[in-house]
Amino acid sequence: MADTAQPTAVALGDATVAFRVAGDRVYTAVEKANLSVAHGEFVAIVGPTGCGKSTLLNVAAGLLKPASGSVKIFDQPLTGLNREAGYLFQADALFPWKTAIDNVAIGLEIKGAPREQALQRAQAWLTSVGLGAFANRYPHMLSGGQRKRVGLAQVLIRDPKILLMDEPFGPLDAQTRQIMGNLLLELWNADRKAVLFVTHDLEEAIALADRVVIMSAGPSARIIGDWRVKLPRPRDISEVRMEKDFHELHREIWGVLKDEVMKGYVQSTQAAGVG
Amino acid sequence: MSRSMLLLSQLLVAVVALALWQFLTTVPVFGKILLPPFFFSNPVDVGSQIVKWFSSGVIWKHLIITLWESILAFVIGSIAGVLVGFWFARQPRVAAVFDPYVKMINALPRVVLAPIFTLWLGLGIWSKVALGVTLVFFIVFFNVYQGVKEVSNTVLDNGRMLGMNERQLMRHVYWPSALSWMFSSLHTSVGFAVVGAVVGEYLGSAAGLGYLIQQAEGVFDVAGVFAGMFVLSAFVILIDMGVTVVERRLLVWRPATAEGRG
């Protein structure tokens, strides 16, 4: 899918992320991560719980600064926040005091767009995520899935070149996740942004992405695998899971991931024992 | 319980209480009146006192004075509370320096300030307003401070990623969050504004509901004291109903389960 004429959308070079914890101790979350996302490419990062997947995403967003290594966005070193990126958070990130349409329109309004025009575009985006009739609802009046749809519209209305997604469908039930996955693919297919999608669900990753990147268990998590998904597009999330290629790839990746998941599990139980 | 049934029961409580009061203050039980009218008056006298106030129109002047003092105390206290709350929340160092003094002043029972305010500001409305302000300020201040500090990090990051600068974060994130906390304590702060006004009037003034009660008490006019109390509670209930209406409009975005804080 990658368009070679375009510069790489996101490039992490030997990025190490460390946090200072209690005094002089340093906790290394991610060590020497090399990762590149081509223009128009959909990359999923999969790893055990607490491996620093979200940390990596925050580095790409500019919300976190790596202790060492480089972050380049379209070949430019990243300073401050990543202005090319839209970020869909795992937790609820909508402004609870704004209606759905105001939540979506805000991205344009802060850029100085006239309110009338912003509202019009926001209404169009709400319609394209299937919430045209819910414009005047406040977030608490919407279901979890509906809130994610508003979140998606809120991010996409700004037309970012890069889409960063942190387990965006994690809190949703299985059916809603599939529907949201298909919606995401449909919207992505329209203009093929570069996507970095973090998830702990390998099946979701394979069904959505062009590439699946596997991280080891933390601390000092590393990228330990990188697979290309050759399933044809456009895909339907629920149907693609039935295909033979899907199963083979899943088995192959899971062979690597399984050990890390077990390591991550053991570490989390030990940490609980100590703490 | 159905609505009409509930209303009927509520009415019944009032009727029984009033009847009992009337009975015990006027009819001797075993040759003795249990509640001496001199100390307890009786509902008929209290009622006629209230009617007299309203029919002659003297009460309006006092009501308006008390209302005006309450409004001023509320508005000034709220504005000061919002500004200082915002300032402290955004400048942790300032907050840390002033913290013990804020706690100290807040710990002080505010009634003791009334004589000072009377000395400084005279017997007019401003000494009452000042007393109300000291009460309202702290409620609003603590709520706004909390509201700004407890803005969800995810919502903040989202604002930043959507391209908001500091000023826009202030307007679209910190400000609504702080205001929502302030509004959720609206009942408490409005109530305290009235308390400040009435207590101030009671301790020294020339007009207002507190003055009316204090005057009646001074001449052992118990009916007048009770009448003043009834008018005062009706007055507070009316204000509270107004606050509820305002609150419903301002906090539509809040889930109904969220209880008022403060």
What pLDDT digit, counting tens, does each position of A226-235 carry? 999 988 888 8
A231 in contact with B, Cβ within 8 Å: no
Q: Is A95 within 8 Å of B161 when comparing Cβ atoms?
A: no
Asked if A28 contacts A219 with a C-beta cutoff of 8 angstroms, the reply is: yes
Q: Is A63 within 8 Å of B154 when comparing Cβ atoms?
A: no
Supply the pLDDT for residue A4: 52
Task: Give the DSSP H or E segment for A16.
Answer: strand A10-21
* pLDDT bracket for residue B183 (50, 70, 90): confident
What pLDDT digit, counting tens, does each position of A1-33 carry? 444 566 789 999 888 988 888 777 888 888 888
Average pLDDT, chain B: 89
> Tell me: domain A10-84+160-274, CATH 1.10.10.10, correct?
no
So where are chain A's domains? Answer: 10-84+160-274, 94-159
A143 in contact with B, Cβ within 8 Å: no
**Lookup result for tokens 């991205």:** A107
pLDDT at A273 exceeding the cut of 70: no
What pLDDT digit, counting tens, does each position of A26-61 carry? 888 888 888 999 998 999 999 887 778 888 899 999
A153 Cα to chain B: minimum distance (Å): 12
Supply the pLDDT for residue B261: 44
Q: Is B253 within 8 Å of A89 when comparing Cβ atoms?
A: no
To the nearest whole percent, how much of chain A has pLDDT over 90? 48
Pinpoint the residues of chain B covered by CATH 1.10.3720.10.
Answer: 41-250
Asked if A89 contacts B158 with a C-beta cutoff of 8 angstroms, the reply is: yes
Q: What is the CATH class of B41-250?
A: mainly alpha
ipTM, two decimals, is 0.87
SS3 call for A156: helix
Contacts of A148 (CB under 8 A, 6+ apart): A88, A168, A169, A172, A180
Measured CA to CA, the distance from residue A203 to residue A126 in angstroms comes to 28
Measured CA to CA, the distance from residue A38 to residue A193 in angstroms comes to 9
